[in-house]
A = this chain, B = another copy of it.
Amino acid sequence: MKAEIITIGDEILIGQVVDTNSAWISQQLNQAGIEIYQVTSVADDAVHIKDALQNAENKVGLVIITGGLGPTKDDITRKTLCEYFGTKLVFHEATLDSIKKWFEKRGMPLNKLNKNQALLPENCTVLENNEGSAPGMWFERNNTIFVSVPGVPFEMKYLVGEQVLPRLKKMGMLKNIVHKTVLTQGIPESFLAEKLAGFEEGLPEDIKLAYLPSPMAVRLRLSAYGHANENLGAIIDEQVKKLQGILGEAIYGYDDEQLPEVVGNQLAGLGKKLAVAESCTGGYISHLVTSIPGSSGYYKGGITAYANETKINLLNVKQDTLDRAGAVSKEVATEMVLGVKDALGADYAIATTGIAGPDGGTEEKPVGTVWIAVAGQEKLVATKFVFMKNRERNILRTSHTALQMLRKLIIEENK
């Protein structure tokens, strides 16, 4: 089956909002075996919306419409869908009840605009919205299904993920597909491709491998396609095992896991504490660690030592070491990681020092040169990297590389 996504809203066409909904819906439908034929963005204009609906109905079996379901008068999707299907708006009692309850609970008066959100086209099946006041709507005509959902991302995600996809599945309109994403850090995409050449050649025909690179990680998505009664989970797990054999500890997690969360779980599980000393990453590692709820349980804190005096006074780096080896050196990274571990009384520590760019490089130490050190209870590892010229990407890449080095050290020390 093919699908079209129609996004409705002036805010998209004046460029005030980037339409991230379409990409999310495309991903979900693609992974469920539905091909996206077209994405169309139109203004809050009835004639234009009906025109887009007609074009889509002529071409595809599923039309997902987002936006234009709010209570104000510029939100015209419901009225326009009525005109398109030649039906009328009627009060939907269950929806009115849940809107009333929502307002009662908050002790707020209900006005006419709120009530009108329960006015829905007579021919639609109502899709309950647990995340907001505007319900989703499901229509069928000839061989095409139309679904209308709000444009607010988390409401849209709830309705598409929890209401629309399960219904399509029940109707037998989704292919049997299973995906598993393997998350790797530390091996550049081209080297990964080389390492995995044999693996890729040996993949059964109905399993596909996609590389999804970013400055933080290279994600490997395995997708298995099969018949309704095949156990694709088992088939894909077999391939994941092979990847584990080839890539080892370069794999830090699966699917939606994030590296700072993985490292946080390691520390929390062991009851150990972390401290971070940052020069070139300037606080970004500390930010990543503390972006995880509950990180106060294992994070002692960090020191961003931008100036040399700060390295000396707070991290106990020696003036002599700075003079002899320079701030961007194995020696300074090592003194920083031991200094922060000691100063904060932590069990594990990370230190970074480098030239983030765009300026400040030399012949010997070009922009992108970075030393990362990680220390545990017995071991200490310091490694040099030479990244590129882009400051933002260098900060991202250094931070994730450092977290991956720590992850490996923790595994090593707790075997």
Residues of A in contact with B (beta carbons under 8 Å apart): 12-20, 22-28, 30, 35-43, 48, 52, 55, 212, 273, 276, 278, 282-287, 289-291, 293-296, 299-307, 309-310, 313-314, 343-345, 356-360, 391-392, 395
Contact = CB atoms under 8 A, between A and B. Distances in A.
B284 A287 contact: yes
A391 B24 contact: no
B26 A15 contact: yes
B358 A16 contact: no
A305 B283 CA distance: 12
A250 to B, nearest CB: 22
Contacts of A359: 293-294
18 contacts: A12-B26, A13-B36, A15-B25, A15-B28, A18-B23, A19-B19, A37-B48, A38-B42, A273-B307, A282-B289, A282-B299, A283-B284, A284-B287, A287-B287, A290-B304, A293-B359, A295-B306, A314-B314
Given A13-B26, A15-B27, A27-B14, A290 B282 contact: yes
A310 B286 CA distance: 14
A305 to B, nearest CB: 5
A136 to B, nearest CB: 20
Contacts of A356: 290
Q: Which of A16, A30, A358, A360 has the most CB of B within 10 A?
A: A16
Interface secondary structure of A, over-half rule? mixed
A306 B36 CA distance: 47
B38 A14 contact: no
Q: Which of A41, A48, A284 has the most CB of B within 10 A?
A: A41
A38 B13 CA distance: 7
A20 B375 CA distance: 41
**Shortest 3 CB-CB contacts between residues of A and residues of B:** A282-B290, A283-B286, A15-B27
Contacts of A276: 283, 304
A287 B296 contact: no
Q: Which of A283, A345, A358 has the most CB of B within 10 A?
A: A283
A299 B307 contact: yes
Nearest to A13: B36
Contacts of A304: 276, 283, 286, 290, 301-304
B23 A12 contact: yes
A42 to B, nearest CB: 6
A301 B314 contact: yes
Contacts of A27: 14-16
A247 to B, nearest CB: 22
Given A38-B42, A343-B313, A19 B23 contact: yes
Contacts of A28: 15
